[in-house]
Amino acid sequence: MTQYNDKVERQRLLLEAEEWAKGVKDIHAHSLSSMWYDNRPQDTDGKSVVDRRFNNGLIERTLDNGSIVYFGEELKGDDLIDAYVKTVKPSVEQTILN
């Protein structure tokens, strides 16, 4: 039965990471057209927007008229697990360095 431990552990981490991915990493209300991810400078031409960055890598922008646009790539699978583990379950080395 122990031959499946790695698969079970990966699935457990994936389920945790998928729940974590829905969380908001930060919120930024601004009128800047120079954000590193911004390929829509017209959104902030004399207007303000609200950008919400999620743990999964997506950025949701709410425009002044209520419309929503997305930036970035959504992390999935092993990439999502790696981001989750680095952020939520830091290694002993990461803990010591901080």
Which pLDDT tens digit goes with each residue over 49-86?
Answer: 999 999 999 999 999 999 999 999 999 999 999 999 99
Enter the pTM of the model: 0.81
- For residue 35, pLDDT beyond 80: yes
- For residue 15, pLDDT beyond 60: yes
Instruction: Give the model's pLDDT for residue 36.
Output: 87
Given a contact cutoff of 8 angstroms between Cβ atoms, the answer to whether 49 and 29 are in contact is yes
Plot region of 51 (φ>0 → left; ψ -120 to 50 → alpha; else → beta):
beta
- For residue 1, pLDDT beyond 60: no
Instruction: Give 68: exposed, middle or buried? Use CB within 10 Å, 0-12, 13-18, 19+.
Output: exposed
Instruction: Give the model's pLDDT for residue 91.
Output: 58
